[in-house]
Amino acid sequence: MKKISILVTTYNEEENVIPLSEAIIGQFAEFMSEYDYDILFIDNYSLDNTRDNIIKLCESNKKIKAIFNSRNFGQSSSGFYGVVNTTGDCTICISADFQDPVKLMPEFVKFWEEGYKIVLGVKEKSKENPIMRMIRTLYYKILKRMSDVEQLEHVTGFGLYDKSFIEIMKSFDDPIPFSRGMISEIGLKRKLIPYTQEKRRSGKSSYNFYRYYDYAMLSFTSYTKVGLRIATFLGFLVSFLSILSAFAYLIMKLLYWDRFPAGNIPILLGVFVLGGMQLLFIGLIGEYIMSINLRLMKRPYVIEERRINFE
């Protein structure tokens, strides 16, 4: 009997973990009874009753497992660590907030049995804030044009991953993994299934501007070189224009010294423009250096505080 693992990452989801586990088990009972299963909750140091509820689930059903992180290690690292600790012939990743439709699981499995190694849900529509949707779309378009590797639009990680893909993920040995980039980079046969993303059933999203920015920079610095290239080319261009402008200013001053306006306005404008551009690109280069630094430190994805129902 084939085994399917379900991975759920949690952070302050006390109202969702129990009904979600019931919905997942219901799908197996009704549509996938020929498969064995287990459910792995990896909790990123929740501060509410999420862990207590997960412990209750683990005590009532030995097929439900848990990993509790010693602190919040971020969605990307926690999710990656959870995936590589699953033991099924395939793993389905699903969010704890019911924004990913549980009812798509049987369809994922159907395409997996047809030979697809990766089956992904794509947010064709979303009930989230339309402004956020627009910003996400713009971000995906920019990243897609800049990246050397194909980037999938409106893919959150919700989907099914064959065990062979997970084994390749382990071999990357990247301490700050960007899983969505790996999907395209590895290039295994995949299927995309459109769906409408629902609103959160309860609770409040832990994502804020800083977290969105952090994740965006991770993808940008992992799969694009264009930022550094733009800084280099624009640096040459601005330097050339600055020298040209300075030379032209000198000529005009010598020829029309009595009629040419006095003062340091051109110099001040040049200083502000060049200073602003320098700060911008120093910050951009700093993002790349920080990404390199984190990879060189080789820190663990997460540090476990406790695990439950693992043999």
Question: Which string of b and e fits 109-120 if b means at least 16 CB within 10 Å?
Answer: bebbeeebbbbb
Contact at 8 Å (CB) between 47 and 123? Answer: no
Residue 196 lies in a domain: yes
CA distance 308 to 311: 9
Give yes or no: residues 25 and 65 share one domain.
Answer: yes
Q: Residues 38-48: what's their mean pLDDT?
A: 95
Domain count for the chain, please give it. Answer: 2
Give yes or no: residues 109 and 95 share one domain.
Answer: yes
Give yes or no: residues 52 and 142 share one domain.
Answer: yes
Among 16, 14, 19, 15, which Cα is nearest to 49's?
Answer: 14
- For 187-225, what is each residue's pLDDT tens digit? 678 899 998 887 766 555 555 555 555 555 656 655 566
- pLDDT at residue 181 in the model: 66
Give yes or no: residues 270 and 144 share one domain.
Answer: no
CA distance 168 to 98: 29
Q: Residues 124-133: what's their mean pLDDT?
A: 70
Contact at 8 Å (CB) between 178 and 219? Answer: yes
Residue 105 lies in a domain: yes
Confidence of residue 127 (pLDDT cuts 50, 70, 90): low
Q: Which of 83-97, 198-212, 264-278 has the highest mean pLDDT?
A: 83-97
Q: How many residues would you count in the chain? A: 311
State yes or no: pLDDT of 106 exceeds 70.
Answer: yes
Give yes or no: residues 194 and 134 share one domain.
Answer: yes
Give yes or no: residues 235 and 261 share one domain.
Answer: yes
Min mean pLDDT across 53-62, 68-77, 84-93 is at 68-77
Confidence of residue 169 (pLDDT cuts 50, 70, 90): confident
Write down the residue that tokens 């997960």 correspond to.
Answer: 54
CA distance 188 to 180: 13
Write down the residue that tokens 């990879």 correspond to.
Answer: 295
State yes or no: pLDDT of 111 exceeds 80.
Answer: yes
Give yes or no: residues 141 and 248 share one domain.
Answer: no
Quote the Cα angle for 100-102-108, to 5°: 95
- pLDDT at residue 218 in the model: 59
51 against 272, higher pLDDT: 51
Strand partners, 43: 10, 68
CA distance 89 to 120: 16
172 against 229, higher pLDDT: 172
Q: How many CB atoms lie within 10 A of CB 136?
A: 18
CATH code, 52: 3.90.550.10
Residue type, 242: S
- pLDDT at residue 311 in the model: 77
Give yes or no: residues 85 and 183 share one domain.
Answer: yes
Q: Provide the domain limits for residue 96.
A: 3-206+300-308
Give yes or no: residues 241 and 186 share one domain.
Answer: no
Confidence of residue 264 (pLDDT cuts 50, 70, 90): low
Residue 220 lies in a domain: no
CA distance 295 to 4: 31
Six-digit token string for 91: 């793993």
Residue 216 lies in a domain: no
Mean pLDDT estimate for the chain: 80
Give yes or no: residues 157 and 10 share one domain.
Answer: yes
Residue 214 lies in a domain: no
Q: Report which secondary-structure segment, H or E, holds 137.
A: helix 130-146
- pLDDT at residue 197 in the model: 82
CA distance 147 to 185: 11
Residue 221 lies in a domain: no
154 against 236, higher pLDDT: 154
Among 208, 209, 212, 216, which Cα is nearest to 143's?
Answer: 216
> pTM score, two decimals?
0.72
Write down the residue that tokens 């991770």 correspond to.
Answer: 218
Give yes or no: residues 231 and 113 share one domain.
Answer: no
Q: Which residues contact 21 (CB under 8 A, 6 or more apart)?
A: 39, 57, 61, 64
Q: Residues 107-131: what's their mean pLDDT?
A: 86
State yes or no: pLDDT of 228 exceeds 70.
Answer: no
Write the CA distances from 281 to 219, 235, 263, 272, 286, integer angstroms. 18, 9, 30, 14, 8
In the chain, what percentage of residues exceed pLDDT 90?
41
Q: Residues 88-117: what's their mean pLDDT?
A: 94
Residue 175 lies in a domain: yes
CA distance 74 to 246: 49
Residue 176 lies in a domain: yes
State yes or no: pLDDT of 49 exceeds 90.
Answer: yes
221 against 280, higher pLDDT: 280
Confidence of residue 281 (pLDDT cuts 50, 70, 90): confident
Give yes or no: residues 241 and 101 share one domain.
Answer: no
State yes or no: pLDDT of 56 exceeds 70.
Answer: yes
